[in-house]
Every structure is written in C-alpha cells, then in structure tokens.
Amino acid sequence: WISLGPSICYIFDCISHFYCSIDAFKNRTISITIVIAYFTTFPIQNLRTAYTTVLQEWLRVSCHKAADTAVVKAYMDTFASISPQLLEFVINMADGNGNTALHYTVSHSNFAVVKLLLDTGLCNADKQNKAGYTAIMLTALAAFNSDSDLQTVLQLLCTGDVNAKASQAGQTALMLAVSHGRGDMVRALLSCGAQVNLRDDDGSTALMCACEHGHVDIVRQLLSVPGCDATLTDNVIISFFIKLDSTFIC
C-alpha cells in the first residue's frame, strides 16, 4: 500500500473527511459551504486517478483465489488507520461488473478473507453486481471445506437479506441453491430465515425448482418446512403436482 504513494493516501483521507462532512451536514452540525469546501480543495482528476489506483490494487490483493489473509488484513488496517469511513468505502468498491471483494471471495470460496471482510461490520452484503446477484446468492456455488467455512457462510447469511431477489430473474439465494443441488446450502439458508414460498419472475418457487431439476432429497427437505405450499402455481399455471411425476417421491 505504501507504494501507492502519500498523495493517494492524502486524497482518500480527504474523501473520508468529505463523507464525515456529509454526515455532519445531515445532522445539521456544519453548513453546506464547509461540505463543498472539502470537495473543491483538490482536482477532480486526482480523485479519479486515486479511485482507479486504489480499486485496482485492492482487487489485486483481496479478490484472487489464493489471496493472503495476512496481506489483506494489513491493507485493511492501513485503511482503518486513516479513517473508518475510508475502510468502509474501499471494501465495498466494485469493479466494472459490479463485483466487490465480497462477491469475489465468496465465489472463490476463500472464506478466511470473507470472514475478515465480515468482521469489520462494514460490508454491504446486499449489494448486487450487474448480473443482479449479491454475495449471498453466490454461496450457492461456493465449496465448504471445513466447519469454519460453514460458520463464515452462516455469518454472511445473517449479515444480509437471504430473501433478496436477483434483479434479472427474481431468483432468491434459496432458489439458486436448489437449482444447483446444494442441500447443504439449502439447510443453511433455511436456518437463517429463507422463505420457501417466494416466487421468481416466472412465478416459480424453490420447490418447483427442485422438482424441475430432479433433486429428490431437496424436494423432501423443502416439504418438511412448516408452511411450505405445494399447491402454488407459476405464471403459466403449472403447479407443483403437474411438474411432479407421480412416482417421483415414492
């Protein structure tokens, strides 16, 4: 981080103070004139350069599959030493596809770094990327290698909205886990309050998804949830019972 130069640290320190000034303005403790002053003391181009440089460096350090937790923590400690607002700003920075460090680390199943991010209490776990997915939704594809990984996943699920819907098709994390046959994630999501009767944009429920993909164990798992409604129909009036072969769960 030191190699990025003191000027960038200074600029982001100014950004941190700018965020603080915005909060203070909202609380009516300073005037808008002071807020504007923070933003006009350095060229906009410098801000863009600093933003791009820090974004690239942060993603390089934190988002690859073999990211080193010690290095990531050192960067986070540096950000926090400048200001908590800077740490919050950086760890939630997104690339051109809308992916944050949390998106990437979950996708890579790098749960040691995921935990570092979550432990700050500053991660926006509900931020959607351009494909419409949150980090919670990406757990449907993540691989657990230990009990500690599972505990970190549960921590993530408790941090954000497990019932949020993807912007493109309206699927929830539960539907995605069901579609990929992830019984372990289905259990985790249900334990954290995932709702079984929510529908996507086509009107399908998690139970319908399980039937369509032939995941017998997950069908049984969902049917065991109190309140699971097997009589719901989707937008083309295809009910659970029509989709379900008569011998499917016998």
- Percentage of residues of the chain with pLDDT beyond 70: 74
- Distance set, CA 244 to CA 77, 174, 180, 200, 249 (Å): 53, 19, 18, 19, 9
Q: What is the mean pLDDT of residues 188-202?
A: 96
- Distance set, CA 26 to CA 21, 23, 31 (Å): 9, 5, 9
61 near 72, Cβ under 8 Å? Answer: yes
Q: Length of the chain in residues, anyone?
A: 250
pTM, two decimal places: 0.79
Q: Could you give the CA distance from residue 172 to residue 198 in angstroms, rounded to a whole number? A: 8
Give which of 114, 99, 84, 108 is closest to 15, Cα–Cα: 84
pLDDT at 239: 52
| Angle subtended by helix axes 69-82 and 6-26, to nearest 10 | 60
Highest mean pLDDT among 57-66, 86-95, 141-150, 151-160: 151-160
98 near 128, Cβ under 8 Å? Answer: yes
1: pLDDT confidence band, cut at 50, 70 and 90?
Answer: very low
201 near 209, Cβ under 8 Å? Answer: no
Q: Could you give the CA distance from residue 218 to residue 177 in angstroms, rounded to a whole number? A: 10
Q: What is the mean pLDDT of residues 36-46?
A: 56
244: pLDDT confidence band, cut at 50, 70 and 90?
Answer: low
pLDDT at 185: 95
14: pLDDT confidence band, cut at 50, 70 and 90?
Answer: low
Tell me the two tokens of residue 75.
């960067």
Q: What is the mean pLDDT of residues 60-65?
A: 91
pLDDT over 50 at 153, yes or no: yes
pLDDT at 35: 44
Q: Could you give the CA distance from residue 15 to residue 179 in angstroms, rounded to a whole number? A: 43
When comparing pLDDT for 248 and 186, which is higher?
Answer: 186
Burial 127-142 (b: 16+ CB within 10 A, else e): bbbeebbbbbbbbbeb
pLDDT at 27: 52
Q: Could you give the CA distance from residue 68 to residue 174 in angstroms, rounded to a whole number? A: 30
pLDDT at 56: 85
Which fold does the domain 131-250 belong to in CATH?
1.25.40
Q: Could you give the CA distance from residue 147 to residue 152 in angstroms, rounded to a whole number? A: 9
177 near 186, Cβ under 8 Å? Answer: yes
Q: Residue ranges per domain, the chain? A: 1-93, 131-250
